[in-house]
Amino acid sequence: AYRSVADLLGAPDAAFVGVNRHLTIEVIKALAERGAGGAVCFAAGFLETEAYDEDGERLQAELVAAAGQMPIIGPNCYGLINYADGALLWPDQHGGIRLAEGGKGVAIITQSSNIAINMTMQKRGLPIAFLMTAGNQAQTGLSEMALGLIEDERVTSLGLHIEAFDSVAGFERLAARARELKKPIIAMKVGRSEQARQATVSHTASLAGSDAASGAFLKRLGIARVDSIPAFIEALKLLHITGPLPGYK
C-alpha cells in the first residue's frame, strides 16, 4: 500500500478514486500532475446537489480544473467494467461474465450506476463486452465514451441510457461513425414527464429538456428509442444476434 499518489512507483494507467468530494479534487490533481492515464471519480456531492448545497457547482468546476488534460469519468458514478479483457474500475458487486476468447458482446453506457448494476445482473442471455457509467459528465461525456467503445471489434451494438445529451455535435459524430461501422444504437432516454425531468437534475445534475425534442433528435440520428429496461435489453440482444436491420445506412 502507498500513502499518497506521490509515493507510487510510477504513473498509473488508470485510477479509481473512492474518497470524499474534497479529497477527490486533491487526488485528481495529484494524479494529473503524475501523468496518470485517467480516473474514475466515485464521490457524489458535486453539481447534482446544487439545489440544496451551494458548494456543489464550485467543487465540480474545481474538479475539472484539477484534472486538466487527464480524462476523468464522473463524478458521482461507479466507473467501468471491461468484460472483454477482464478488467474493471468498480466499487461494488456485479453479475456479468467475461467474454470467451474471440467472443463479442454489446457495449452499454448509462448515467445511472444503479441501472448499470442491474444490467450486469440480467439473465436474458445478453453478452456484455463493456459497461460504463457517466455520472455527472463533468468532463468526459457519454457520446465521447461511446465513440471510443464502438471502435472495438468485439462490440456488436451499443446501448445508451441517457438523462441528458452531453453534446449535440458529439452525438452526431457518434451516430455517423456507428453507421459506418454498421453497429446499431439503442437509446433509453429518460425524462418524459416534468417529475422525471426534475429527478434527473438531483440525480446526475442533468437537464433532460423537452421529451419531444429528444425524440426528434434521436430519430434524426437514426438511433432507436425504447422506454423500458426490458425492451432495452431485448432490443440489444436482437441486434447483437442479427446485426443492423435493413435500411440502417
CATH of residue 154's domain is 3.40.50.261
- Predicted confidence at residue 124, as pLDDT, reads 86
In contact, 129 and 105? CB cutoff 8 Å: yes
The residue segments making up the domain with residue 19 are 11-73
Query: Looking at residues 57-64, what average pLDDT do you find?
Result: 98
Do 20 and 91 fall into the same domain? no
Choice among 125-134, 172-181, 211-220 with the minimum mean pLDDT? 211-220
- Predicted confidence at residue 211, as pLDDT, reads 85
In contact, 110 and 81? CB cutoff 8 Å: no
Q: What is the CATH number of the domain that holds 42?
A: 3.40.50.720
Is it the case that residue 242 has pLDDT exceeding 80? yes
What would the grid cell of residue 108 be? 452499454
- Predicted confidence at residue 244, as pLDDT, reads 84
- Predicted confidence at residue 1, as pLDDT, reads 85
Neighbour tally for 118: CB within 10 Å: 14
Residue 137 falls inside a structural domain: yes
The total of structural domains in the chain comes to: 2
CA distance 247 to 108: 23
- Domain termination residue (choose one: 21, 55, 73): 73
At 185, which helix (H) or strand (E)? strand 185-189
CA distance 115 to 118: 5
Backbone torsions φ then ψ of 242, nearest 5 degrees: -95, -20
- Domain termination residue (choose one: 73, 92, 119): 73
Do 116 and 146 fall into the same domain? yes
- Predicted confidence at residue 191, as pLDDT, reads 66
At 202, which helix (H) or strand (E)? helix 194-204
Do 222 and 104 fall into the same domain? yes
- Read off the pLDDT of residues 73-108 as tens digits, 9 standing for 90 and up: 999 999 999 999 999 999 999 999 999 999 999 999
Query: Looking at residues 207-231, what average pLDDT do you find?
Result: 88
Choice among 33-47, 52-66, 70-84, 112-126 with the minimum mean pLDDT? 112-126
Sequence-ordered strand ranges (E) for 44-173: 72-73, 80-82, 87-89, 105-110, 128-133, 155-162
Comparing 194 with 145, the larger pLDDT belongs to 145
Mean pLDDT over the full length of the chain: 92
- Predicted confidence at residue 194, as pLDDT, reads 59
Do 65 and 90 fall into the same domain? no
Query: Looking at residues 230-242, what average pLDDT do you find?
Result: 95
Do 68 and 88 fall into the same domain? no
Choice among 33-37, 74-78, 118-122 with the minimum mean pLDDT? 118-122
- List C-alpha distances in Å: 228 to 84, 139, 158, 225: 26, 28, 16, 10
Do 37 and 116 fall into the same domain? no
Give the global pTM: 0.91
ω into 230 cis (within 30 of 0): no
